[in-house]
Amino acid sequence: MAHVLNFGAATVTHNAVDLGKTTGGGSLSIVTAEQEQIKADFDVDEIILGGTGTVNFYEWSAAVSVSTTLLLHDFGVVIFTTSEIKITLYKCKILLAKELEFGVLKHKPFKVRLVFTPDSNGDVIKIEEA
């Protein structure tokens, strides 16, 4: 089962390095699995396995080279900060989107994909007030 969280314009960091600002924000989909507990027949808990997402940047400060992988940044702490909330992904990698648009007469975001999993402490995501 997946749960989706959408957010607006945000500043993004990866391991405390500023990656820029978003346009139209992005979305996260949290992937869970259900596990029945032995203590009761009808007690069902959802376990977070990780998740995926997309982010729309309006700027990207580094050159992008594509060779054998779409990886832009390997697993690290990714933080999205908006005017209202702060979202922390404790173990997240950033990949180039599989489709790129260019040469059009309107602004197109630089899209990246996210893949995140629990860190060594089991932490996946934290949402708090900014």
Mind listing the pLDDT tens digit for each residue in 48-63? 899 999 998 887 777 7
Q: Is the pLDDT of residue 8 over 90?
A: no
Beta strands in 8-117 (DSSP E): 11-14, 17-36, 44-57, 71-81, 85-96, 110-116
Identify which has the larger pLDDT, 6 or 84: 84
DSSP 9: S
Task: Report the range of poorest mean pLDDT among 10-14, 48-52, 107-111.
Answer: 107-111
User: Structural domain of residue 33, as residue ranges?
Assistant: 2-129
Report the distance separating Cα 73 and Cα 113, nearest Å: 11
DSSP 38: T
This prediction's pTM: 0.82
Domain count, the chain: 1
